[in-house]
Structure 1
């Protein structure tokens, strides 16, 4: 019986060369209907597999195998069209590997990925069946880490190319996965930006007349005297604090019974808010940055899972906050105003009346991200329906909905320019960052797209100049972009954004580094790496112009630290929140029920989800999932202390407080004298995590303990 897919002996011209093979010739819909073309590896195992595997162990790569008897040949037996794989020997070497038959004929992939085929009259299996075997998911996952070719042949836009008859040599032969190479550090583009004055003053600036390096005392004296406060000297005055990175030792540790999701200073530094998983947002007066005062607490009614985001109006009068619902709430920040917050329904359509919060007909999408516009008149939101919605605060109705462009949840949104509401940015799980210009929305498409991340974006931040934007991603990198380098929407439509994504579960898995590959359409300026973006949507920011001269970018991290990078991608410093808070609270009765880890890991763990740099002094407030098994949250305040471990001030630094800034002496005693470490049994729990129960007591009552 002739081998399936090959010419019979009667029709074959013996003087003719072997016919050129094309994959389409052996697809099931075009194969001979009398031939069984489906292949099931589970049905093809030979009874002689064990003996053959023992012989394979003695084979040296590159050597030929002697002929075996007829019963061991990897051929399709007459009358039986199932595939016998016992005669195939597969090995991988540095050049890509080779395939060997027990009959002595060898399939070899040389350095040019050429397929060399043995004698045409030898028994053989269908190549399509062999490739189906090699393409099975389990085997493919085992072969990739060992250098097997990854992916398929793609064009410059990432689309799969069709094979023609001239690419017979690439039959097995998909091109090898190129070796991933990290961008250079320090980045040449970043170094140039630092010298340009857009991101801090060059630290190696030398006085042109005295030929000596500027020092802190000289800068301070000239600022006090008001000498040469223009041009380069003005930037030098602003850069006095730019090298003062806050230390790891915490000034104060504010504890919460649930995980903390975000916390930010106001633009003037006089206000700070912190969002928790118990559906409450706490506000603080930080006009004296070293002596915070509790302001008030607002709550999200009927919230789902957590407070996802919050944003403060430019005049500090209102706070808008959201949960995984289609409505956000707008609350006054005045501590004497105890009125209920106003609902902002982002699901309303033009002309549609407002609906009650319990109306089952309302849309069920959730809001992941919120931002006020620079003029305070609008709020933009990113949703889990892959859309971007702009709501007008005067009418309290959506005025713009941008949908059907993102292919994944919109995790982050912001306005591009603080002086106008025209430019919008949106970052999505589809790995793209899209730029929208509301002045040219006739076709409903974005003005441009940034591609380069290989997994979903977790946060984006604008420098506020309408030019530079920063993004954090689940691919464990942070990238800086310039609007002048963005890709057009039409060019981006030709690329599948998920082509290079690993699609791992960032909440419970580590990043699969062996799957990392470069994105051919990466137009980012600088790539920052070193931090971990796991467990939650970790945030990143530009450092403020006042206290740092915009010299840094910084981000939280799953390993319990805040990473501060220079614009040239070098690490300027870290703030170790985990070390500063270790053992800072005793285990409570709800610790086990609120743990994040499924296995019940009771170790002290810290994940810094957000951080905010004070706009006028070297101080950072870090908002974290923090505690035994990530069961609680903290907001820690870190200031520059010139490397000192302690100070002589009163009260001493590193003390614990509750959410109303009341001292917790029992926490302090526990931290100063922690019990000896002991091994804790890992207990299995049916749920990964759940929010803590909301307290029924009034937040304004003095007798509330919350513990």
Structure 2
């Protein structure tokens, strides 16, 4: 290990150098020195006994670090007095998300080490914090890169607890992440809860089982078949459906239960590749149309009137967008598409492939009643979510200004702006009833789901609210009946809500939603089971668990009534799968998009520049952000971040095939296509000759863990 005060590089005996992302930074910054840069030096010697802690102090002196007993060093950095005071006042409030201590606290005496080593106590003034997974060399790292490293290494709580922003911004200073828009995270991280598996909701859910038997979410087998333990097979149900035209009773139930058993399989019919990450994709209400949004600010449209043989339709783009296209919505008559970016203007484009006219601008930042300005000016906020009303006349949007805006398409002006109720970004909005534009839902990072009734909003307040998520909401979807709604949350749960059980405004105003959240950053941090704790005021009907809502704003949906008999709810997941749940919270099936697309395109030279994560190896990774079930056929389209290091995107088409691994039909299944559905020979050739896939490591970075004896007291 080298130091600022020595000209030599010394390593402890038996110590092996370890990789760290900072090495890549140094390749670009080598030779550049700045007076404000911090010296990065971390000892990586594994300490097994208390004597090792004391011997390491002497090692510091031998290496000539020149650090006095009164100075504090964090990550091997000699820090300023102000930063030292900030760290000394920091409460270490939670256990790391692993069985062994990842961040041991080091002190100068055995007594003080035992006293302050317990998580949740204040560290003494002379404590030193070491991280075990860093390189042993002395590496000069600029301050900006160091804080970026901290924000991506699971140490955001150190920064956030002292008011530092953990926003990672591009080199040009203008790029934002997909869920942050000029809003650095400044609230203090709250102590981690001590929940666990014993606090999880019961599975199967009693309320969910009751709903499944009520007929609103699919049909159950006939009770005689259940009593006599007779199991219906596909051929039997098919025969009853063919013979049961205009039938009643048992035959009708058999016909209804036929479609709800057809869950699409993991084998992909088609793999549509995009050169940037894909953010959302949805079928139209009639199933004849599909659109996919990507980070290259383009929306691709496809003709899916034959759900098994798609045709390329048209592409529209968002000029001067920021970071990505966040959402898009299709009018009920399939004639118009509205799409947004992290800006306050959305675009309205026609779906007619013969119409090459420029899209119209919809400025959501205008005050209600004011017409479009000639000059758009600067963007005031970002739009996260968009939805067309059932009559196609209005579009509702959720924004980074903590507001819900309703825009009239005909007059081209906002008609409603709901502000000052949500305390954080509104990530998702939807209409509650497909036949009426009056009922609105909005889900926010403040952990609440608000209900708005436009017929009674003289005071600008919501009609009620739902509470139960302990972290922010990423998406909401309505069943369309004005009663049931589901939401996905960063607490790794999906919840079903009943409008009749919402919390009144009077009760809700007495509760502070921020008291039940921890400031967990789902973009970089994991969410272990011990973090979960049930909400004190949970008014949800059913809670679904098993999927992972990490990295991005992952979406969830009700299954359609035509192809599934409204039997399921389903969601994407960070682990590369689509999870399909029964209404009683049991898992009906999974669609493994990651396995279906593994090594489906070669690694390109610039993959490191577009990779989402810093890791030692660019492995094939899949994160399913959105999924859409065809309304009339057992076909599901999954839109994903997919590729080497999550650097590209795919839209995969999955259909029900009764578990068959091969298909004798034409064209062959599992082949790769470009964004215009043109066959890509080099992609398919690479996959046929690619080496066996490597298993993803449990951690994205190598870590030396210090194993602790059970008898040792911390």
TM-score (norm 1): 0.70
Q: 1:138 to 1:666 in 2, by over 3 A?
A: farther
Shift of 1:595: 0.1
Aligned to 2:355: 337
Alpha-carbon distance between aligned partners in 2 of 1:208 and 1:558, rounded to the nearest angstrom? 37
Aligned to 1:479: 495
Shift of 1:589: 2.4
Q: Is the 8 A contact 2:277 2:646 kept in 1?
A: yes
CA offsets, 1:625-679, max 9 Å, x none? 0000000000000001111111111211000000000000110011111046789
Shift of 1:359: 1.6
Aligned to 2:684: 668
Q: Is the 8 A contact 1:204 1:213 kept in 2?
A: no
Aligned to 2:563: 547
Q: Is the 8 A contact 2:300 2:315 kept in 1?
A: yes
1:585 aligns with 2:605: no
1:526 aligns with 2:542: yes
Find the residue that maps to 2:497 and give its secondary structure: strand
For 1:685-696, list aligned pairs within 5 A.
Answer: none
Greater displacement, 591-600 / 370-379: 591-600
For 1:560-579, list aligned pairs within 5 A.
Answer: 560-579=576-595
For 1:95-494, list aligned pairs within 5 A.
Answer: 136=122, 181-203=199-221, 205-206=223-224, 214-230=232-248, 233-356=251-374, 359-360=377-378, 363-494=379-510
Say which one has the larger Rg.
Answer: 1
CA offsets, 1:339-375, max 9 Å, x none? 1111111111245342356523xx5100000000111
- 644, 648, 651: which is aligned to 2:660? 644
Alpha-carbon distance between aligned partners in 1 of 2:600 and 2:541, rounded to the nearest angstrom? 40
Q: Superposition RMSD on alpha carbons, in Å?
A: 3.0
Q: 1:177 to 1:261 in 2, by over 3 A?
A: closer
Find the residue that maps to 1:240 and give its secondary structure: helix
Aligned to 1:162: none
CA offsets, 1:107-130, max 9 Å, x none? xxxxxxxxxxxxxxxxxxxxxxx9
Shift of 1:513: 3.6
Alpha-carbon distance between aligned partners in 2 of 1:322 and 1:518, rounded to the nearest angstrom? 35
TM-score (norm 2): 0.69
Q: Is the 8 A contact 1:205 1:214 kept in 2?
A: no
Shift of 1:525: 0.8
Shift of 1:443: 1.4
Q: Is the 8 A contact 1:309 1:322 kept in 2?
A: yes
Q: 1:534 to 1:210 in 2, by over 3 A?
A: closer
Q: 1:137 to 1:441 in 2, by over 3 A?
A: farther
CA offsets, 1:169-211, max 9 Å, x none? xxxxx9x967651111010110110010000010354479999
Shift of 1:226: 4.2
Q: Is the 8 A contact 2:369 2:413 kept in 1?
A: no
Aligned to 1:112: none
Alpha-carbon distance between aligned partners in 2 of 1:448 and 1:418, rounded to the nearest angstrom? 20
Alpha-carbon distance between aligned partners in 2 of 1:530 and 1:677, rounded to the nearest angstrom? 24
CA offsets, 1:119-175, max 9 Å, x none? xxxxxxxxxxx9xx9764899xx9xxxxxxxxxxxxxxxxxxxxxxxxxxxxxxx9x
Find the residue that maps to 1:297 and give its secondary structure: strand
| Structure 1 gaps, min length 5 | 1-49, 55-129, 143-173, 685-707
Find the residue that maps to 2:352 and give its secondary structure: coil
CA offsets, 1:565-619, max 9 Å, x none? 0000000100000000000000112211100003464000000000000111111
Q: Is the 8 A contact 2:292 2:300 kept in 1?
A: yes
For 1:490-505, list aligned pairs within 5 A.
Answer: 490-505=506-521
Alpha-carbon distance between aligned partners in 1 of 2:664 and 2:195, rounded to the nearest angstrom? 57
Alpha-carbon distance between aligned partners in 1 of 2:123 and 2:295, rounded to the nearest angstrom? 39
Alpha-carbon distance between aligned partners in 2 of 1:632 and 1:138, rounded to the nearest angstrom? 47
Alpha-carbon distance between aligned partners in 1 of 2:459 and 2:650, rounded to the nearest angstrom? 46
Q: Is the 8 A contact 1:238 1:547 kept in 2?
A: no
Higher relative contact order (CA 8 A, sep 6+): 2
Alpha-carbon distance between aligned partners in 1 of 2:258 and 2:292, rounded to the nearest angstrom? 29
Alpha-carbon distance between aligned partners in 2 of 1:209 and 1:679, rounded to the nearest angstrom? 45
Find the residue that maps to 2:199 and give its secondary structure: coil
